[in-house]
Amino acid sequence: MKLERLMKEKGVDAILITSLLNVRYFTDFTGTTGTALAVKDKRFFITDFRYVSQGKNEVEKNGFELICENISTLKKVGELLKEFEVKKIAIENQSVTLDQFKLFQSNFPEVEFVYLDDTFIKEREIKSEEEIEIIRESVKIAEVALEKTLPKIKIGIKEREIAAELEYQMRKLGASKASFDIIVASNERSALPHGVASEKLVEEGFLTIDYGCFYKGYASDITRTFYIGDNPTQKHLEIYEIVKEANERAIKVVKAGITVHELDAIARDFIKERGYGEYFGHGLGHGFGLQIHEYPGISFKAENKVLKEGMIITIEPGIYLPDFGGVRIEDDILVTKNSCEILTTLDKKFKKIK
């Protein structure tokens, strides 16, 4: 149904889906080699012999006819385009390489190419009930994993060891892997918004952990900042409370109908008022799903759009003071008609780990 509407919107008689992520979105195929083709009212899924039985189970219920092609997928696609007299085909120009495009041109010389641009990622903005349930589970796995990891965190442990433990726990709980390189940033490294876990030993000061997992293909994305040691300064307490309040103020106003610029400004203006505006350089959040960063961007830098029911976004304000340390608190939020549901449940109170 979606593909039919998209074909109409794009004015094409076929859509070729080549990125595995979108193949998965439209067909449910979870393997590593597969191409989907919508031609007029027919749906084909082309894979090689390794995926025939898996593919059948996954894609046929979604209306895709499986074709096993061991030599050349594109040759097969070309034959189908000819058979159905396709004149215009939409392709995923944002993920197709130049080499692939040249192959498209040589295998289907008679068709005109139309670019999908960001059509698919826009399609994925609003999550279905089924996707929401999976993301809920993804968030839960990540949360339990952090709870199991916390007792191991102490002064002297390597950042990478914390990241390894977190990933181990997430996988043990059913995740396929971490949803990105886990960020574990101790003391002055916590001032780096993307301080991927390093060889550094944890020392007294802030410790920021930004992580998540993939579960059934869907991401989670959570950040918590802790204080390691027993003697936080006034400044540590102050910036922590500002970030926490910015996070809470923003979450309070999330609902269908608010624009991403309005939402970003709620947190940003508050941090500015408290004198730390220049230390919050990134956007307030982002959508996520099959990818860790999807639409909408919740940022003054992003295209301004209105939040809709069923979007899942992060809210993650931060303050980063060079050579001192930083705080970020990130929650995962489901936008509902009149407010939102906070999917993350981990505590946000200033927490000292000794």
Give the residues lining the site for Mn ion (CB under 5 A).
221, 314
Residue 59 and residue 29 in contact, taking contact as beta carbons nearer than 8 Å = yes
Comparing CB distances to Mn ion, the nearer of 15 and 315 is 315
CB of 314 to Mn ion, least distance (A): 4
| Comparison of 55 and 285: residue with beta carbon closer to Mn ion | 285
Taking the C-alpha atoms of residue 327 and residue 108, their distance in angstroms, rounded to an integer, is: 53
| E-state strands within the chain | 14-17, 35-39, 42-47, 65-68, 88-91, 112-115, 177-178, 183-186, 205-211, 213-215, 218-219, 222-228, 285-287, 294-298, 312-315, 318-321, 325-328, 331-335, 340-342, 352-353
Least distance to Mn ion from the beta carbon of 221, Å?
A: 4
Q: State the minimum distance, in angstroms, from the CB of residue 1 to Mn ion.
A: 31
In the complex, the smallest distance separating the C-beta of residue 62 from Mn ion, rounded to whole angstroms, is 30
Nearer to Mn ion, 47 or 314 (CB): 314
Rounded-to-integer distance, Cα 36 and Cα 56, Å: 13
Nearer to Mn ion, 23 or 251 (CB): 251
Are 284 and 316 in contact, with CB atoms under 8 Å apart?
Answer: yes
Closest approach, Cβ 328 to Mn ion, in A, equals 9
Closest CA to 156 of 193, 186, 183, 188: 186
- Residue 333 DSSP class: E
Q: Which residue number is nearest to Mn ion in terms of Cβ? A: 221
To Mn ion, the closest distance from the beta carbon of 273 in angstroms equals: 24
